[in-house]
Amino acid sequence: MTTLNDQVRAFWEAGACGTDAELARPFEKGSREWFEAIEENRYRLEPFIHGFVQFTRHRGKKILEVGVGAGTDHLQWARAGCECFGVDLTKEAIDTTAARLRLYGFHSTLQRVDAEHLPFPDESFDLVYSWGVIHHSERPEAIVAEIHRVLRPGGLFLGMLYNRRALVTLELWVRHALLVGRPWRSFRDVLWHHLESIGTKAYTGAEIARLFERFTAVESTPILTPYDTRRLPRPIAAMMPDTVGFFRTVRATK
Ligand SMILES: C[S@@+](CC[C@H](N)C(=O)[O-])C[C@H]1O[C@@H](n2cnc3c(N)ncnc32)[C@H](O)[C@@H]1O
């Protein structure tokens, strides 16, 4: 029987996240130019990652990244001098990230696993990082429980999950519900079927608080992204508040 995560895996095996960037297209897959175009594109679109994560403040820490994708942030952890471990549901992501780190002379212990079951003993890591991953899995609450288990007491979780009450969601709802004469479709249903891999979820602040209830000092902050404002005239886009942004950063302590 095919599970939801089999379908999620098949979707992401077709290409690691961010590798279809237009900037990267002229370059050979796996070349330095290709990786650097992917990196340039990512931090042009999501410059707030550096401000939120502050990779270099975590030098010397033992870190686990859940859902490495093409390894763009994983390379920043390695550059910052962390002891790196990474997992992803796909072979494509693991191979791409391994090749990327090798190219720059770094090492990480990388494994293809479903993060709903992490292959690490309790209290193994100082920090767990996961950007845009947990909401794709069949059981996000299982991943969050595993992250909590493998963090040492006092360890830090940093990540991002999608925010449901966002302009991106509204745009998808207009396209896949309102304009096709099905205005009763919920945001939840539209996201599940029409955003990246099947089964994608997005959360309100209260839902994030519940999902991370076993952590302390949970902070969840919406961020307005270029994906929210790309179809708006610039003066209107400039007036949009972060509260209607599609990303919700999460910072929590075990
Ligand atoms: C949108 S990409 C994000 C990748 C990377 N963190 C980034 O920001 O570019 C989602 C990634 O999550 C991975 N993923 C989804 N469900 C997973 C699970 N249950 N366990 C591990 N990885 C998972 C996918 O394979 C994919 O690489």
* Among 205, 176, 180, residue whose Cα is nearest residue 189: 176
**68 Cα to the center of ligand 1, angstroms:** 6
Does the beta carbon of 65 lie inside 6 Å of ligand 1? no
Q: Residue 10 has what pLDDT?
A: 95
- What is the percentage of the chain residues whose pLDDT exceeds 90? 96
220's tokens:
């969840």
Cα–Cα separations (whole angstroms), residue 126 to 45, 63, 94, 208: 28, 6, 22, 22
Atom of ligand 1 nearest to the CA of 93: 27
pLDDT score at 200: 98
Element (H, E) at 47: none
What is the 187 CA–ligand 1 centroid distance (Å)?
22
pLDDT mean across residues, the chain: 97
**Rg of the chain, C-alpha, whole Å:** 18
Cβ(146) to ligand 1 under 6 A? no
- For domain 4-164+200-253, give the CATH number: 3.40.50.150
At residue 47 the predicted structure's pLDDT band, cuts being 50, 70 and 90, is very high
The arithmetic mean of pLDDT across residues 48-75, rounded, is: 98
On the question of pLDDT at 34 being above 90, the answer is yes
Residue 20: pLDDT over 90: no
Q: Is there an atom of ligand 1 within 6 Å of 133 CB? A: yes
Q: Among all chains, which residue has been given the structure tokens 């992917």?
A: 38
Q: Is the CB of 131 under 6 A from ligand 1?
A: yes
Best of 68, 136, 197 to mutate for ligand 1, by most ligand atoms within 8 A of CB?
Answer: 136
Q: CB of 202 closer than 6 A to ligand 1?
A: no
**Percentage of residues of the chain with pLDDT beyond 70:** 100
Query: In which band, very low, low, confident or very high, does the pLDDT at 173 lie, cut at 50, 70 and 90?
Result: very high
Q: What is the pLDDT of residue 63?
A: 98
Name, in order, each residue with C-beta under 8 angstroms of 113's C-beta and a sequence gap of 6 or more.
Answer: 87, 88, 89, 119
Is the model's pLDDT at 214 over the cut of 90? yes
- What is 145-188 written as a DSSP string? HHHHHHEEEEEEEEEEEEBSSSHHHHHHHIIIIITTT-TT--HH
Q: Is the pLDDT of residue 85 over 90?
A: yes
- The residue extents of the domains of the chain are 4-164+200-253
Per-residue pLDDT tens over the stretch 97-134: 999 999 999 999 999 999 999 999 999 999 999 999 99
Q: Which of 127, 130, 75 is nearest to 97 (CA)?
A: 75
